[in-house]
Structure 1
Amino acid sequence: MSEKLLEGYKRFKAGYFAQNKDRLRALAQDQRPSYVLITCCDARLEPSLIFDTEPGDLFVIRNVANLVPPYEIEGSYHGTSAALQFAITVLEVPEIIVLGHSRCGGIRSLVTGQDKMEKDSFISRWMSIVAPVAKLANPDNPIDDKTLSHCEQTAVGYSLCNLMTYPWIASRVEAGTLKMNGWHYDIYSGALKKIHDQDTISTIIESDETSAD
């Protein structure tokens, strides 16, 4: 299966790499991304394709369900927090975007209780970051795409709140040197929504067709 990737790499090397050597060599010396993009591991999301960006534009942090844990210094492993700290305090990236998406498997597992059999699983513990979101779904009714979409968008709001618990993020936001945005991308319809907080959502880009959400 890896042969497909190697063939793709050969096309990249002969095409984009050959045509953009100067830009890529400059990037090899230093990186100055314009945005920190926190998004999901979902294979259907390709940030550089969705936003039509070039290498070096985005500092991408990917995890299950594009969550930001609250600031804390206990424990041993903080992949998302470490990436954020590097991007903000070392690279001094001026904007953070939390990008949620439709049909998110992590949110579905949280609101449907699919992971209840393994309460100590990595997924369960990770999704507990946005545990209150599960209360938005009525366990007595079928959980449809509209409900899941609302839960996905609300989870982005929680991550925005959690970002402000990091002292080196909050201080920069308050000083006006760092901006934060929350967005939700609908894979099915192409719609893009802005998440202001857990309760306030507005549309940035309309869908091209009627969405299943």
Structure 2
Amino acid sequence: MKDIQKFIAGFRNFRNEFFCREDAPFGLLCKGQNPTALVIACSDSRTDPSFIMQCEPGDIFVIRNVANIVPPYECDTGFHGVSSAIEYAVKVLKVNDIIVLGHSLCGGIDALMRDDAVRHTEFLNKWLTVMAPVREEVMEHFGEVNKKSCTACEMAGTLRSVQNLMTFPWIKKRMDEGNLFLHGWYFEMESGQLLSYMPTTKTFEPLTVSGVLSRKEDAAE
């Protein structure tokens, strides 16, 4: 109950800041949204992308799920929550950038790597199988589950999700037209660094305000 009271008090502060003052932003936001970026992030309670990047309401369109996974494009009769949100962001909101935001110490990736941790779950095990090929590649290289192999899987999983985005024909079309850019980012929780995958070096490198990367350099291939 104590936490619920904290949440209610937080909402009061939010309402005073964003609704009640004379220049409150929701006066305009109620008329529509115009985010320039889609961020696909993990559901982990410690990795809220709006908080990490200090975004204002309306800045980014966010999809969150276990292990920030983007499944490959499938046009069938199934229920595709992630794909439908991606479609809305790209086709309706016409975002210019899509960021897949992975992170260290990811519980979903840890469960994927240890395999038996989620084997008997109803939904989680099936969801994580999207990244089963990534796990196999990582295990072939490292041979065992440890901190290094889990980190490698977190980063490789982020890149696999970026690659899966390119299986959506309408994403590929906009990329070819030069008006949509994909990015693979990784939040290193222990050091507080935000890394970006660089196709030129094939490594994740720190993003800094003073060294802003060009779209061409930052966009994942």
Which residue matches 1:132? 133
The 5-angstrom pairing of residues 1-213 of structure 1 reads 1=1, 2-19=4-21, 21-115=23-117, 117-118=119-120, 121-135=122-136, 136-137=138-139, 143-196=145-198, 200-205=202-207
The 1:6/1:90 distance shift into structure 2, 3 A limit, reads: same
Q: For 2:81, give the aligned amino acid.
A: G
Structure 2: runs of 5+ lacking an equivalent: 209-221
Shift in Å at residue 139 of structure 1? 11
The 1:3/1:109 distance shift into structure 2, 3 A limit, reads: same
1:76 partner SS: coil
Structure 1: runs of 5+ lacking an equivalent: 207-213
Is the 1:134–1:151 contact (alpha carbons within 8 Å) kept by the matching residues of 2? yes
Is the 1:156–1:195 contact (alpha carbons within 8 Å) kept by the matching residues of 2? no
* Whole-angstrom distance in 2 between the partners of 1:70 and 1:193: 24
Aligned residues: 204
Shift in Å at residue 133 of structure 1? 1.9
Is the 2:35–2:95 contact (alpha carbons within 8 Å) kept by the matching residues of 1? yes
Is the 2:196–2:207 contact (alpha carbons within 8 Å) kept by the matching residues of 1? no
Shift in Å at residue 117 of structure 1? 3.5
- Per-residue CA deviation, residues 18-47 of structure 1 (Å, 9 max, x unaligned), is 336442111110110011000000001121
Shift in Å at residue 141 of structure 1? 6.0
* Whole-angstrom distance in 2 between the partners of 1:73 and 1:141: 36
* TM-score (normalizing by structure 2): 0.85
Q: For 1:19, give the aligned amino acid.
A: R
Extract structure 1 runs of 4+ deviating beyond 4 A.
138-142
* Whole-angstrom distance in 2 between the partners of 1:100 and 1:139: 21
Identity %: 37
- Per-residue CA deviation, residues 84-140 of structure 1 (Å, 9 max, x unaligned), is 00010001011100000001111111111134542x731111111111121213699
* Whole-angstrom distance in 2 between the partners of 1:163 and 1:20: 41
* Whole-angstrom distance in 2 between the partners of 1:54 and 1:78: 28
Is the 1:193–1:201 contact (alpha carbons within 8 Å) kept by the matching residues of 2? no
* Whole-angstrom distance in 2 between the partners of 1:8 and 1:94: 32
1:193 partner SS: strand
